[in-house]
Amino acid sequence: MIKFIEKLLSIIYIQPCYFCKSTKDDNIICKKCYNKIHFMPPAVYKEYSGCKVYACCLYDDIIKHLIRDLKYHNKKKLSVLFAKLMNDYIKDINLKQEYLIIPVPISKERRKERKYNHMELVSDELSKLTGFKNNKNLLIRIKDTEKQYKLHRTERIKNIKGAFDVNNTEISKETPILIIDDITSTGITLEENIKTLKKSGFKEIIAITLATPDIWN
């Protein structure tokens, strides 16, 4: 009887694939749609301030749509999908040790607007999948800045300088840090995050972003 009820419930609550609306056989999107995601090669994508930065996939229409929905349209469940995507990529790059996952912080003003920081949600899910701990308070945003996309490169660098700080001094500076972000285009924000952590004494820092608009070269 219990088995029967479970089966019935699973039929009632089956959600169609986020994209093609077919019955999904995986988290959020079906295998067919998941396989359409353009993963980046499992290699260092860029280096900022001597730290390795990786990008999981190409910022194409699927990923663009998904990031926008998670970030602005309250589709919080997509954090599960992004964590899976990041975890699949992490398995490929073969990290040699455990890292403390740190989501790129947003300002109080931005949090007021959006109600939540989407990368914090991803960090919670990624922590479950990898078994790595995450910390949402270590790196904080102390300055609200003008939206970066409105500015030119030199203005962006000036705008973001000093926008972050390290909050918790109880965490050992020997802890390897893994910063996660959604997209990297100019990398200016990510680099400022890395610089802030380095300045406070952290030595081993890497970063992984969900997507990059650049074509691999």
Q: Which stretch binds Zn ion (CB under 5 A): 31-39, 52-60, 70-78, 106-114?
A: 31-39
Q: Report in angstroms how near the CB of residue 32 gets to Zn ion at its nearest.
A: 5
Q: Report in angstroms how near the CB of residue 119 gets to Zn ion at its nearest.
A: 25
Binding of Zn ion at residue 27 (CB under 5 A)? Answer: no
If the CB atoms of residues 57 and 178 are measured against Zn ion, the closer one turns out to be: 57
Kindly give, in sequence order, each residue whose CB lies less than 8 Å from that of residue 44, ignoring residues fewer than 6 positions away: 52, 53, 54
Q: Report in angstroms how near the CB of residue 164 gets to Zn ion at its nearest.
A: 38
Query: Total residues contacting Zn ion (rule CB under 5 A)?
Result: 5
* Rg of the chain in Å (alpha carbons): 18
Tell which one of 8, 9, 14, 20 touches Zn ion (CB under 5 A): 20
Q: Which stretch binds Zn ion (CB under 5 A): 4-12, 24-32, 114-122, 141-149?
A: 24-32
Q: Which stretch binds Zn ion (CB under 5 A): 7-15, 32-40, 49-57, 195-203?
A: 32-40
Tell which one of 33, 151, 183, 206 touches Zn ion (CB under 5 A): 33
Tell which one of 28, 30, 179, 211 touches Zn ion (CB under 5 A): 30
Q: CA dihedral defined by 177, 97, 54, 123, rounded to 10 degrees?
A: -60
Could you list the residues that contact Zn ion (CB under 5 A)? Answer: 17, 19-20, 30, 33
